[in-house]
Structure 1
Amino acid sequence: MITPEYFYGMKHDPNDPNPFLAVFLDRSIPFDESAKAAFLKDSSTKSRQFLLPLLRPFARLSIILIKLLRTVLPNAFASSRALHRILYRSLRTFVTPEANTMILRHFTLGSEILQFIRDNVPGVDVKLNPLRPYKLEAVKDDLFLIHDINIYNFIINLNKELQAKGLNIAYRDEPNMDAITVGPQPIEAMPNRWTNKIDLLTAIECFTPVYQLFLTDNDFWRASNSLQLDEIIGIYASTIVNEPQRLALVNNKHPMVPMHTLQAGYRLVLHGLATEQLHAMLVQKKLAMGKRAAST
């Protein structure tokens, strides 16, 4: 697994500056340092540079063909169990350890963000279904599907409570930060065989038509549209901590305007980055609160 030292030890050639080194050293975007190093190293692989442009057209053509199939047979081949076992074996066999680590991190960070929002809206009682996978084998338990459903259920149940009780999400001077974990996650070492060479974006582009094939048309449409919820979750959290400028980095924009599914793979990566950035911002807030408390 790549650590930040990979970039700190990288030599800088002024005549040929490394674009990934520049982005890593920049601190304008909140991001866990180890996760940032892993993501940027994964993005700099030969797979990302050469394989992705070749595979992406075929992957998107497959999405179109499967969509045509779904118009006639909306539930043919649907099996979440089979899907998640295929995803698990593929991740274990072909995907880089950095990409697999980023995938597992995402579910835990998402769960912590939802709990943070719930904890900072006094008067509501929204049940959560937190996901904290630290082993790749957890993917087999319908992990991706449950993650999407959790977000929808959270937004629906939270807003039902807000409307029924006449409450609003508002700024809190001293927010409850118990849900936000500071420091590394206890994720197991990921497979690192000679076959584990496929980067995160290439893997997601290839997995998207597989995801579509083994889900019902309704499940895939719902999963694709869940990416549009990034701005909603971002608004909730930024309202609580009064950091509206953080929404500038949310690229899966207006939730009332669904995007077509051809870009689902790319937008899924943006969804992961939005979660990382939002969680990192909350970590910064928690550390700052701790320093203020220690100085008083």
Structure 2
Amino acid sequence: MNNQQRSAYLQALQYDNSFPIEQAAVDLWLKDLDNPFRWTARPILQFLFAILLHLTWFFKRLPLPQFRAHGVLQWTICWFCKHFVSYEANLLILRHYATESNLLNFLATNSGKTPPELLRLYPKTIADMREDSFVKHDQELFRVFKALGYWDKGNATHANSLNWQAWQPIDMQQFQVKKRWTQVVDFESAHALFMCLFCLLLTREEYRDAINGFNLDQSIALRLSDILATPALAEMAYNKFPLYLVGPWNLGQRFLMHGFFTEYLYAALETKRQSSEAV
């Protein structure tokens, strides 16, 4: 579907650059919105999976022995992505690893402290995601925050002397996703299924931490605002107040907004990097 065939609102989105976001991400998202599956099957699937998620959440909170199966979780998600998740959604997932890894590595190398071990979660294929794990993705976020310790904006790198050594610009040509005729499931429908799998195959503490990790978006934005002397970045965070723990209610929207958040801040920082190199 070309832009002229879309609704007036979606046509307007194509040209709205008020928020910092790369055009490649916008194009992938609009293409995912064009997916007929999203407008037919998704409402039903999201309703059913929401019920299943809350039942699973209740089951995992019972005083029973906890179990987890990280390997099964990783293999199942990657298999489903390879065969059933749309080409555009797979590329958005791969981009998300890169955007968040860049933000955390930039934060670590510009904190004014000896940086902890940097993230290496930059998968280029679906198969890579079995190693660059969905589970590890969350745990690496917590590791970096713990390793950096208390934040002191007075020690952070000045905006005029930023360290870009750990930064890896996203090159869409490096991502390799094979197109299949069975890849019909849109991004949000796929995530609705993945939420249930995560809840079942992680321990209750791991899952609780994972779904509350989104709220560190605000902390990341505030710290980057200190480094870049750009207070407006803090407004990019939809998920906020990390001390307030939440459950799986409205998880799909919070996850999606977490993805937009990392895209926004990645684009803002990449623009800053390019402008500094041009000087």
Correspondent of 2:160 among 148, 161, 173: 173
CA contact (8 A) 1:81 1:142 kept: no
CA contact (8 A) 2:66 2:204 kept: no
Deviation at 1:152, TM superposition (A): 0.6
Deviation at 1:142, TM superposition (A): 6.1
Cα RMSD (Å)? 2.2
| 1:246-285 → structure 2 map (5 Å cutoff) | 246-285=233-272
Determine helix, strand or coil for the equivalent of 1:113: helix
Change (3 A) 1:123 1:189: closer
Correspondent of 1:190 among 172, 177, 193: 177
Structure 2 residue identity aligned to 1:102: L
Structure 1 window deviating more from structure 2 (279-288 vs 257-266): it is 257-266
Q: What TM-score do the two structures reach when normalised by structure 2?
A: 0.91
Deviation at 1:210, TM superposition (A): 1.1
| 1:58-77 → structure 2 map (5 Å cutoff) | 58-72=48-62, 74-75=64-65
Deviation at 1:70, TM superposition (A): 1.3
Deviation at 1:169, TM superposition (A): 3.3
Take 2:203 and 2:111, find their aligned partners in 1: how far apart are those partners? 35
1:28 matched residue in structure 2:
18
Structure 1 window deviating more from structure 2 (92-101 vs 126-135): it is 126-135
1:128 matched residue in structure 2:
118
Correspondent of 2:213 among 226, 238, 257: 226
Structure 1 residue identity aligned to 2:245: P
What is the percent sequence identity of the aligned residues?
A: 24
Structure 2 residue identity aligned to 1:281: A
Structure 1 window deviating more from structure 2 (181-190 vs 33-42): it is 181-190
Take 1:43 and 1:287, find their aligned partners in 2: how far apart are those partners? 30
Q: Deviations over 1:118-159 (max 9, x none)?
A: 221233232223211001012222611101001111111102
Deviation at 1:226, TM superposition (A): 0.7
User: Structure 1 residue 11 and structure 2 residue 1: aligned?
Assistant: no
Structure 1 residue identity aligned to 2:159: R
| 1:58-137 → structure 2 map (5 Å cutoff) | 58-72=48-62, 74-75=64-65, 78-137=68-127
Q: Deviations over 1:65-120 (max 9, x none)?
A: 11222133655552011011110111111100111011011112211111111221
Take 1:189 and 1:18, find their aligned partners in 2: how far apart are those partners? 32
Deviation at 1:168, TM superposition (A): 3.8
Structure 2 residue identity aligned to 1:34: A
Name stretches of at least 5 consecutive residues in structure 1 with no aligned partner.
1-5
Take 1:170 and 1:47, find their aligned partners in 2: how far apart are those partners? 46
Q: Deviations over 1:230-250 (max 9, x none)?
A: 111111112211221122221
Q: Deviations over 1:252-289 (max 9, x none)?
A: 11111222213222211111110011000001111222
Structure 2 residue identity aligned to 1:135: T
1:286 matched residue in structure 2:
273
Correspondent of 1:206 among 186, 190, 193: 193
Take 1:33 and 1:253, find their aligned partners in 2: how far apart are those partners? 26
Correspondent of 2:43 among 37, 53, 62: 53
Take 2:254 and 2:207, find their aligned partners in 1: how far apart are those partners? 14
Q: What TM-score do the two structures reach when normalised by structure 1?
A: 0.87
Change (3 A) 1:262 1:187: farther
CA contact (8 A) 1:47 1:197 kept: yes
Take 1:129 and 1:203, find their aligned partners in 2: how far apart are those partners? 26
Q: Which has more radius of gyration?
A: 1
CA contact (8 A) 1:93 1:191 kept: no
Take 1:112 and 1:30, find their aligned partners in 2: how far apart are those partners? 16
Correspondent of 2:145 among 120, 133, 155: 155
Deviation at 1:42, TM superposition (A): 0.5
Take 2:52 and 2:201, find their aligned partners in 1: how far apart are those partners? 13
1:144 matched residue in structure 2:
134
Q: Deviations over 1:15-67 (max 9, x none)?
A: x8432221121110111111210012112321222222111111111112112
Structure 1 window deviating more from structure 2 (69-78 vs 225-234): it is 69-78
